[in-house]
Amino acid sequence: MCTVSKDSTVPSWADFALETDSASLTTAVGVSLNGVVILASSSTNNIDPFYPNSWSGMVELADEYVDGCLGHPNGPGVYHYHILSPCIIDADSVSSTSTCTSLTDCASDVASYTLDYYANYKEETVLGIAKDGHLILGPYDADGSQFDCTTFDQCGGTYSDDGSYVYIFNNVYPYVNDCFGPAEDLVYEASCTTNVCSSYDSSSVFVSAFSAFFVLAASIVLLF
């Protein structure tokens, strides 16, 4: 889930074409409504840029310096987002000339900071489009609730109120689509972040597994 290069291959049915001079954007997953490129949830170090956690696939732990819009340029100078940006829908209220570290709310909790700007957008809101053509929606569903991690698949996708497959730009990891779905249900939690989108309660999984084992053991006893 944490490897940044896994989103470079787009399904053939998407008719996506990569220009020969755009190699630096192979890890782009889409583009937001304000024209800013959206890159994968992980940084080039294969870790969460905002809530990093050491794991075996990481290159190194390094702080990501972003502005008030939670964006920054990559090596070639392409400005981009990794996480849900407040500037997609409320740029006038954000101090984009300031760094995140200089803004108290941003510096203390990036996840809460970005979600605060969507308080007036608690409905299905289109924020961009992915490389495979599926829409990228904001963090809230049609009922005004934040999208439930239990409905996500391994690519960070789910189904909108009208039944169409969409990706969610979120404030928990994965922050956006990190591969191209639909895919299997989200059953694995990312190791490279401390801000994980938990797909299940581990205690309930343990109980279910124990119950299944008990039933299997009882069946074996009955056979003999």
- Would you list the DSSP string of 87-123? HHHHGGGS-TTSBGGGSHHHHH-HHHHHHHTTTT--S
pLDDT at 65 over 80: yes
Strand order in the sheet with 79-81: 71-73, 79-81, 37-39, 28-32, 126-130, 135-137, 165-168, 157-159
The whole-number average pLDDT for the span 162-188 is 91
Q: With a threshold of 0.95, does the pTM exceed it?
A: no
Q: Which of 5-14, 37-46, 88-97, 161-170 has the lowest mean pLDDT?
A: 5-14
CA distances from 23 to 13, 27, 80, 87 (A): 21, 9, 15, 26
Write out the residue range of the structural domain in which residue 95 sits. Answer: 4-223
- Average pLDDT value over all residues in the chain: 82
Q: How many domains does the chain have?
A: 1
